[in-house]
Amino acid sequence: MPLDAHVRFFRLEMQAMVAGFDYEVERKTYARRFLEMARLNGFELLQHRRVFATSGTDDWQGGTHVFAFRKLRVSL
């Protein structure tokens, strides 16, 4: 079963990478905006890595990004 999950992940990643080659798709979302949205929804960034670059040399520019988040606890 774990192998199936890895195969599915890589298949989805390849689809996203191909879609990322289309600049119109690439510029609609970007890593910093995604991080901002996550923080607004109560997530803390643990780790970020750009694993495939499509444009730019900065780690936050275009490409495929992997994020690890932790959901912050809400005190009542």
pLDDT recorded at residue 23: 56
Let me know: does 64 contact 48? Beta carbons within 8 Å: no
Mean pLDDT by 10 residues, the chain (76 residues): 73 74 61 90 94 88 90 77
The distance in angstroms from the start CA to the end CA of the chain is 39
CA dihedral (17, 21, 23, 27) in degrees, to 10, reads 20
Q: Which helix (H) or strand (E) holds 37?
A: helix 31-40
Q: Is 44 left (phi over 0), alpha (psi -120 to 50) or beta?
A: beta
Task: Kindly list the domain boundaries of the chain, sorted by start residue.
Answer: 2-71
Residue-level pLDDT at 48: 96
